[in-house]
Amino acid sequence: MAHFICPSCGNRTTSNDRTAGFSPRPKGCSKCGFAFLFELLDDYYPAPNAAFVICDRNANVIGLGRGVRELTGLGDEQAVGRPVREVLGLEFQNGDDHLGTALEWGVRVLDKPVTVHAEGDRPEPAKADIFPAYDEDGGLLIVLTPKP
């Protein structure tokens, strides 16, 4: 049984199938209708105020899910097509490149302290959970949880 999470609404589901029926098309969200789900190796429960950012294999933003506007003030029109590092101004401790690690090695990177400095806005401390896409297209799901 595989675990899935929707990057748009955060809905979690489990299924034996990774595609929609007999087609190679990825499974979509049954709750909000978002086009594809991210498969998780283990079940994952994001915080209620978590922000979801979807990136392609080059770490360019391809979509913003719930919570991003509240954390950054940004919408799709300001972010889509741009490098996520530029848009969100992510600064990890010790200058680590956790996005690069997830993309290069295809591994999850969890619970990493990060500062989000979106578009020159004031810095916001957060925790980052980064998930690689387990399909031929590649990509990332970045879940940012603001710190109180």
CATH code: domain of residue 132: 3.30.450.20
Tell me how far apart the alpha carbons of residues 79 and 108 are, in angstroms, rounded to a whole number. 23
Instruction: pLDDT tens for the chain, 148 residues: list them.
Output: 778 888 888 888 887 766 656 656 677 888 998 888 888 877 778 888 999 999 999 999 999 998 898 888 888 899 999 999 999 999 999 999 999 999 999 999 999 999 999 876 789 999 999 999 877 778 999 999 998 7
Calpha distance 35→132 (Å, rounded): 17
Query: What 3-state DSSP class applies to 20?
Result: coil
Is the full-model pTM beyond 0.85? no
Domain range spanning residue 22?
Answer: 2-146
| Per-residue confidence (pLDDT) for residue 146, from 0 to 100 | 93
Number of domains within the chain: 1
Cα–Cα distance for residue pair 27/17, rounded to 1 Å: 8
What span, in angstroms and rounded, lies between the C-alpha atoms of 124 and 117? Answer: 6
Asked if 33 and 20 touch (Cβ cutoff 8 Å), the reply is no
* Per-residue model confidence (pLDDT) at position 55: 95
C-alpha–C-alpha distance, residues 61 and 106, integer Å: 18
The CA distance from 58 to 72, in Å, is 21
pLDDT of residue 23: 59
